Amino acid sequence: MKKFGKALYIGLIFLFLYLPIFTLVFLSFNDSKTPSSTWRGFTLKWFREIFSREEWIEALINTLVIGLLAAGIATVIGVAASVGIMAISRRQRIVILQLTNIPMVNAEIVTAISLVLGFALFGISLSMGTILFAHICFCLPYVILNVMPKLRQTGNVAYEAARDLGAGPFKAFFSVVLPDIMPGVVTGFLMSFTMSVDDFVITYFTRPVGINTLSTLIYSQQKVGLRTSMCALSTLIFLLVLLVLLVRMFLTGRTAADKSTNGGV
Amino acid sequence: MANILELQKVSKSFDNELVLDELDLEIRENTFMTLLGPSGCGKTTTLRIIGGFIRPDSGVVLFEGRDITNLPPNKRHLNTVFQKYALFPHMNVSENIAYGLKISGKSRDYIQDKINYALKLVNMDGYGKRDVTQLSGGQQQRIAIARAIVNEPKVLLLDEPLGALDLKLRQDMQYELIRLKNELGITFVYVTHDQEEALTMSDTVVVMNQGYIQQMGTPESIYNEPENAFVATFIGDSNIIDGVMLKDRLVRICGVNFPCVDEGFGTNRPVDVVIRPEDVVLDEPGRGQMDGVVTHLIFQGVHYEMEVMAGGFEWLVQSTVMQPVGREVSLRVDPANIQIMNKPESEDEEAIVLDV
């Protein structure tokens, strides 16, 4: 009985979490112009419709370009920042790490509005660049969050060994330290990418008129009325994020397996 | 023999705490020198200053007479074997060994020859393709040594390299290191807190405490003629007893006059007397220099360790002959085994001893 209760409980949780998503995915294949619960037959035409309309393709490209660029730039800055943070004294390090954590827990709307105010203050007009800048800003803490523990685990000793064997500071970093912290760097990049693709609030405020990412496009479309093609689009976003998640799981799973085989030493 | 390394008035402090205070040290070419001391004595800091990982606050480091104080580690002709091996986990054994050679731009054939040579030298022939993370601690340490010596350094720095190994392996590696040193014909600077390790392997032992060199000399002289109470207690067990130097070659301990071999302390001067526990000979009551009673007895494998109450002092005695607790005995010490030391001159020096 107790076992059954447990199963029921966890079943309900997953139902609440995943039923809406499955409904969405299911409906995006429904041959009906608006998302309705009556099944009118299987079709792929809503997916075709997305790729046949220019604004949708443009939004998709924007999303991917901003996601990749923001994640890439945030990763470079974040790794450099982590190396720097490791080198400073313990007390300063704790303060700086706390400061980098605040943007993560800060309400997105606050971040969004303060960024817009910031752009206005410096007389910067909104463009693709402002969206990208905003995305780099909120991605950065995630990179640091993932890279720091790896760096701490690696410690200074491999770097010193490389220097001892004749490597200059950069050679030592790229040949010895970076490969060692790579799992953290990759996770940081992927996390940043998903955060960027996912983002609506900050993008909505920092974008100029006429430039859309997938999330802002869906939002503007649903004001006119929900269409099945938007379900198809949401399904695509879901699949994209799922794919990134799986890659990340695969990568961290592999390093975890490495660790366990090394455990005997 | 010339000095290959020289430290002149080197000082270093961390967070306002002085770790090294105007340290002077000369290291001769082709010697096995060990820096020995308790943790925090400054021995590792000294090694890291030589390696170039720490810059001293003041003072000069000379390598073959050339000032290298401000040279980064990659520009110094010496290599380090680190305490925790510091192998590169994403490279296999061969790649680890080849790392330094690749940076200095050696040819592929040269590197391959060197790898084979180094693996043979550390008895790890055939391990080239192995993953370093799958080697045992002792094997990893051998690879770390191989990785350092292929670069043909003139000085090899070793930072407690055997600290993580178990006792048996540590003893094997000690012999291995002596053999390596003799085969390579280079200078070893070795850091350890293990006095046995230091005595076994070194040509010269430098005993350090609180940033100062306490004594420097051959293992025999350090053990047999400690210059102060710190060295006497840190290296092996000792009886350190208050005594009075009556005149040359005669010291009064616990009310009894003992002949000794030390001279030049003047007359009626208070001194510290060091007698090693294995140098105290027990005999039938009345036959020795001083009578007493056995108060403690422990079996330690090689010998028995006993405490004997005699003349108001608890003497530590080591002997292969067991005397049960309560037995009346007499003790005797050969004049050559009595070591006389000056009393510490200041409270400061006294405190050093109490810290141990």
Residues paired with residue B34 on neighbouring β-strands, in sequence order: B190, B205
**Dihedral of CA B5/B7/B13/B19: which sign?**
positive
The stretch A185-206 carries a mean pLDDT of 92
Q: Locate the chain A residue with the closest alpha carbon to B144.
A: A161
Last residue of a domain, one of B224, B258, B292: B224
In a domain, A17, yes or no: no
> Residue B74 and residue A165: Cβ atoms within 8 Å?
yes
User: pLDDT grade, residue B356 (50/70/90)?
Assistant: very low
Q: Is the same domain home to B212 and B245?
A: no
Model confidence pLDDT, tens digit, residues B299-325: 998 899 999 999 889 999 999 999 999
Structural contact between residues B339 and B279, judged by C-beta atoms closer than 8 angstroms: no
pLDDT for residue A261: 45
Last residue of a domain, one of B224, B250, B285: B224
How many domains does the structure of chain A reveal? 1
User: pLDDT grade, residue A221 (50/70/90)?
Assistant: confident
The stretch B127-140 carries a mean pLDDT of 91
Q: Are strands B239-247 and B250-253 parallel, antiparallel or unpaired?
A: antiparallel
Those residues whose C-beta lies under 8 Å from the C-beta of residue B124, and which sit 6 or more positions away, are B93, B139, B142, B143, B146
**Dihedral of CA A199/A202/A203/A205: which sign?**
positive
Chain A closest-CA separation from residue B161 CA (Å) = 14
CATH of the domain at B36: 3.40.50.300
pLDDT for residue B227: 87
Q: Locate the chain A residue with the closest alpha carbon to B87.
A: A158
Structural contact between residues B247 and B284, judged by C-beta atoms closer than 8 angstroms: no
Pick among A165, A180, A181 to test the B interface (most B CBs inside 10 A): A165
Contact residues on chain B for A162, CB-CB shorter than 8 A: 88, 99
Q: Which of A165, A180, A262 sits opposite B103 (nearest CB)?
A: A165
The single residue listed with the structure tokens 């590169």 is B88
Contact residues on chain B for A174, CB-CB shorter than 8 A: none
User: pLDDT grade, residue A247 (50/70/90)?
Assistant: confident
pLDDT for residue B236: 84
Contact residues on chain B for A169, CB-CB shorter than 8 A: 72
Distance (Å, whole) CA A212 – CA A218: 9
Contact residues on chain B for A171, CB-CB shorter than 8 A: 103
Contact residues on chain A for B51, CB-CB shorter than 8 A: 164
In a domain, A265, yes or no: no
Distance (Å, whole) CA A56 – CA A46: 12
Those residues whose C-beta lies under 8 Å from the C-beta of residue B184, and which sit 6 or more positions away, are B149, B156
Helices (H), chain B: 43-51, 93-103, 108-121, 137-149, 167-184, 195-201, 219-224, 229-234, 347-355
Q: Locate the chain A residue with the closest alpha carbon to B148.
A: A165
Q: Is the same domain home to B187 and B304?
A: no
Chain B closest-CA separation from residue A264 CA (Å) = 8
In a domain, A15, yes or no: no
The stretch B124-131 carries a mean pLDDT of 91
Task: Spell B286-302 as b/e; 16+ CB within 10 A means b.
Answer: eebbbbbebeebeeeee
Q: Is the same domain home to B300 and B346?
A: yes
The whole domain housing B218 covers 3-224
The stretch B89-100 carries a mean pLDDT of 94
More confident residue, B294 or A226: B294
* pLDDT greater than 50 at residue B11: yes
Contact residues on chain A for B136, CB-CB shorter than 8 A: 265
Distance (Å, whole) CA A259 – CA B13: 38
The whole domain housing A152 covers 48-250
> Residue B51 and residue A180: Cβ atoms within 8 Å?
no
Residue B23: closest CA among B31, B41, B40, B11: B11
pLDDT for residue B137: 87
Q: Locate the chain A residue with the closest alpha carbon to B104.
A: A166
C-beta atoms surrounding B17 within 10 Å? 9
pLDDT over 70 percentage in chain B = 96
> Residue A165 and residue B90: Cβ atoms within 8 Å?
no
Those residues whose C-beta lies under 8 Å from the C-beta of residue A90, and which sit 6 or more positions away, are none
> Residue A163 and residue B53: Cβ atoms within 8 Å?
yes
Q: Is the same domain home to B105 and B160?
A: yes
Distance of CA B67 to the CA centre of its chain: 27
pLDDT for residue A198: 86
In a domain, B232, yes or no: no
Amino acid at B325: V
Q: Is the same domain home to B243 and B198?
A: no
Pick among B47, B68, B74 to test the A interface (most A CBs inside 10 A): B74
Q: Locate the chain A residue with the closest alpha carbon to B136.
A: A265
Q: Which of A157, A175, A261 sits opposite B84 (nearest CB)?
A: A157
pTM, rounded to two decimals: 0.78
Contact residues on chain A for B141, CB-CB shorter than 8 A: none
pLDDT for residue A255: 60
The stretch A80-99 carries a mean pLDDT of 89
Chain B closest-CA separation from residue A156 CA (Å) = 9
User: pLDDT grade, residue A235 (50/70/90)?
Assistant: confident
pLDDT for residue A256: 56
> Residue A166 and residue B53: Cβ atoms within 8 Å?
no
Model confidence pLDDT, tens digit, residues B253-265: 998 999 999 888 8
Contact residues on chain A for B133, CB-CB shorter than 8 A: 258, 261-262, 265
Chain B closest-CA separation from residue A263 CA (Å) = 9
pLDDT for residue A23: 86
Q: Which residues of B touch A (CB under 8 A)?
A: 51-53, 72-74, 79-80, 82, 84, 86-90, 99-100, 103-104, 133-137, 140, 147-148, 151
In a domain, A89, yes or no: yes
CATH of the domain at A108: 1.10.3720.10
pLDDT for residue A12: 92
Q: Locate the chain A residue with the closest alpha carbon to B99.
A: A165
Q: Is the same domain home to B48 and B147?
A: yes
Q: Is the same domain home to B135 and B171?
A: yes
Model confidence pLDDT, tens digit, residues B57-74: 999 999 999 999 999 999
Q: Is the same domain home to B208 and B266?
A: no
Q: Is the same domain home to B81 and B196?
A: yes
∠ CA A156-A191-A223, nearest 5°, is 155
pLDDT for residue A258: 53
Q: Is the same domain home to B215 and B252?
A: no
Q: Which of B51, B74, B136 sits opposite A168 (nearest CB)?
A: B74
How many domains does the structure of chain B reveal? 2
CATH of the domain at B303: 2.40.50.140
* pLDDT greater than 60 at residue A89: yes
What distances in angstroms separate CA B88 from CA A84, B49, B54, B196, one per listed residue?
22, 23, 22, 31
Query: Mean pLDDT in chain B?
Result: 90
Distance (Å, whole) CA B157 – CA B46: 11
pLDDT for residue B352: 47
- ipTM for the assembly: 0.79
The stretch B124-136 carries a mean pLDDT of 91
Q: Locate the chain B residue with the closest alpha carbon to A170.
A: B74
Last residue of a domain, one of B224, B259, B282: B224
> Residue A160 and residue B73: Cβ atoms within 8 Å?
yes
In a domain, A81, yes or no: yes
Give the least confident one: A115-129, A230-244, B17-31, B337-351.
Answer: B337-351
pLDDT over 70 percentage in chain A = 95
Q: Is the same domain home to B207 and B292?
A: no
* pLDDT greater than 70 at residue B348: no
pLDDT over 90 percentage in chain B = 67
Give the least confident one: B20-29, B110-119, B227-236.
Answer: B227-236
State chain B's maximal CA–CA distance in angstroms: 77
Q: Is the same domain home to B218 and B344?
A: no
Structural contact between residues B60 and B9, judged by C-beta atoms closer than 8 angstroms: yes
